Chains A and B, each alone.
Chain A
Amino acid sequence: MPNDTVDVLIIGAGAAGAAVAWSLVDTKMRVVCLEQGEWVRQSDYPTNGRDWESRSDFSAVPNLRRRPEDYPVDDSDSPIKPVNFNGVGGSTILYMAHFPRFHPSDFRTRTLDGVGEDWPIRYQDLEPFFAENDRVMGVAGLPGDPGCPPKDGLLPPVALGVLGETVASGFNALGWHWWPSESAIATAPHNGRDKCLNLGPCATGCAQGAKASTDITYWPEAIRRGVELRTRCRVREITLDERGFARGAVYLDADGNEHEQKAHIVILACSGMGTPRLLLNSTSKRFPNGLANSSGLVGKNLMLHCMTLTSGIFDQPLRGWQGPIGCALWSKEFYETDAERGYARGYTFEIVRGMGPVATAQSALARGALPWGEKHHGAFRSMFDRSASIVAVGEDLAEECNRITLDHAHLDSDGMPGVRIEYRLGENSRRMLEHSGARATEVLEAAGAVTVAPTVTSGIASGHIMGTARMGNDPDRSVTNAWGRCHDVKNLFIADSSLFVTSGGVNPTSTLQALALYVSHQIKQRLDRLFD
Chain B
Amino acid sequence: MTQTIATDSPFGQQQRILLTTLAEWMIPAEDGLPSAADATILEEIIVALARQPEVTNAGLQRLDAIAKEQFRSPVPKVTSSERIELIAALRAEAPAFVTLFESTVAACYYRDDRVLHSLDLPARAPFPEGNNVRPTDWSLLDPVRQRAPFYRNV
Contacts and interface: CB of A to CB of B under 8 A. Distances in A.
Contact of B131 (A49, A103, A322, A373): A322
B134 A159 contact: yes
Interface string B104-125: 0011011100011001010011
Contact of B133 (A161, A177, A384): A161
Given A175-B143, A357-B115, A47 B154 contact: no
Contact of A377 (B33, B87, B126): B33
Interface string A106-149: 01100110000000001100000000000000000010101111
Nearest to B106: A361
Interface of B: 25-28, 30, 33, 48, 83, 87, 99, 102-103, 106-107, 109-111, 115-116, 119, 121, 124-136, 138, 140-141, 143-145, 147-154
A392 B118 CA distance: 34
B28 A172 contact: no
Contacts of A107: 154
A82 interface: no
B127 A47 contact: yes
Nearest to A353: B133
B80 to A, nearest CB: 8
A50 B125 contact: yes
B106 A358 contact: yes
Nearest to B130: A197
A171 B128 CA distance: 34
Interface of A: 45, 47-54, 103-105, 107-108, 111-112, 122-123, 142, 144, 146-149, 157, 159-162, 164-165, 168-169, 171-172, 175, 177-180, 197-201, 207-208, 319, 321-323, 332, 335-336, 356-358, 360-362, 365-366, 372-374, 376-377, 381, 384-385
Contact of B28 (A51, A208, A335, A376): A376
A104 B151 contact: yes
Task: Identify whether the interface residues of A are mostly helix, strand, loop, or mixed.
Answer: loop
A50 B48 CA distance: 14
Nearest to A319: B133
Contact of B116 (A161, A200, A357): A357
A332 B147 CA distance: 12
Given A52-B125, A357-B116, A179 B141 contact: yes
9 contacts: A51-B111, A104-B154, A105-B152, A142-B141, A161-B134, A168-B140, A177-B147, A208-B127, A365-B103
Given A147-B150, A172-B143, A357-B115, A52 B136 contact: no
Contact of A178 (B126, B135, B144): B144
Given A54-B107, A362-B102, A177 B130 contact: no
B124 A50 contact: yes
